[in-house]
Chains A and B, each alone.
Chain A
């Protein structure tokens, strides 16, 4: 499942809802991304491409299910104005065993970093700027490339 929303999310509630009634699940992995302030950040505004965002997140989620034996998964990505410390993104994966949950959770984040149409604009003391894409995000995505 995927969701794109302005509101904050409650990780505990999301995990409980995702796993309710499925006793085949033996392991749940989750990742929460926060707005980081390395000095002087006042706020960050996330813009996205409504329609394409949902479409791409659905594709990423489906790819995780194709690669790992997942019982359930969830991607929640926020947009709008956020402040340092605020949660931006949540990924949860649930499987019978922990390794599939850990690996697929990692995969979801690496892929959405380069495949989901979001753009960050930072507002600091000296004005506003669009955040540049990071080469190490591309590298992180590449390590999941399937060979053969």
Chain B
């Protein structure tokens, strides 16, 4: 599974992407966030305030209950500010 970070989430993560292999029980975006946040202090910092974290799975906006699995591209970012 490929994890991407954008904007200040990338700053906090200290990287723009990484490959992860969560255990089989991690099947939703919400569960993935819990698992990522427990991996190291930087990840805990990225997900410290989940109310300002948005997610996309395979380039579509996702919610906490959106399914995720091996091979998916999961991105995390703050609310968008384009236009």
List A residues at the B interface (Cβ < 8 Å).
33, 46-49, 51-52, 55-56, 77, 88-89, 109, 112-121, 130-134, 137
Chain B residue with Cβ nearest A48: B82
Determine whether the beta carbon of B82 is less than 8 Å from that of A117. yes
Q: List 17 A-B contacts (CB under 8 A).
A: A33-B83, A48-B82, A49-B75, A55-B59, A88-B83, A112-B82, A112-B83, A113-B80, A113-B82, A115-B61, A115-B80, A116-B80, A118-B80, A118-B82, A118-B83, A120-B82, A132-B79
Q: Is the CB of A52 within 8 A of B56?
A: yes
In the complex the two chains form, is A133's CB within 8 Å of B78's CB? Answer: yes
Taken together as a complex, chains A and B put the C-alpha atoms of A46 and B7 apart, in Å, by 9
Q: Which residues of B contact A115 (CB under 8 A)?
A: 61, 80
Q: Which of A49, A77, A114 interacts with B6 by CB under 8 Å?
A: A49
Which residues of chain A have C-beta atoms less than 8 A from B75's C-beta?
49, 52, 117
**A121-B7 contact given A52-B56, A52-B59, CB 8 Å threshold:** yes
B4 contacts A by Cβ under 8 Å: yes
CB distance from A106 to the nearest CB of B (A): 12
Report the Cα distance A83→B62, complex, angstroms.
33
The CA-CA distance from A115 to B60 in the complex, in Å, is 10
Number of B interface residues in the complex (CB < 8 A): 16
Q: Write the residues of chain B forming the contact surface with A, with a CB cutoff of 8 angstroms.
A: 4, 6-8, 56, 59-61, 75, 77-83
Take A112-B83, A119-B6 as given contacts and tell me if A49 and B56 are in contact as well, using a CB distance cutoff of 8 Å: yes
A89 touches B56 (CB 8 A): no
Q: Check A133 against B83 for contact (C-beta < 8 Å).
A: no
Closest beta carbon of chain B to A143's beta carbon, Å: 16
Complex: A77 Cα to B83 Cα, angstroms: 7
Q: Specify which of B6, B61, B81 is in contact with A133 (CB 8 Å cutoff).
A: B81
Going nearest first, the 7 A-B pairs with the smallest beta carbon separation are A118-B82, A133-B79, A52-B59, A119-B7, A113-B83, A131-B81, A130-B8
> Closest residue to A59 on the B side, CB-wise?
B60
A134 contacts across to B, CB distance below 8 A: 81
11 further A-B pairs in the complex, CB-CB below 8 A; given A47-B6, A114-B80, A133-B81: A48-B82, A49-B77, A52-B56, A89-B83, A114-B79, A116-B82, A119-B7, A119-B82, A120-B82, A132-B81, A134-B81
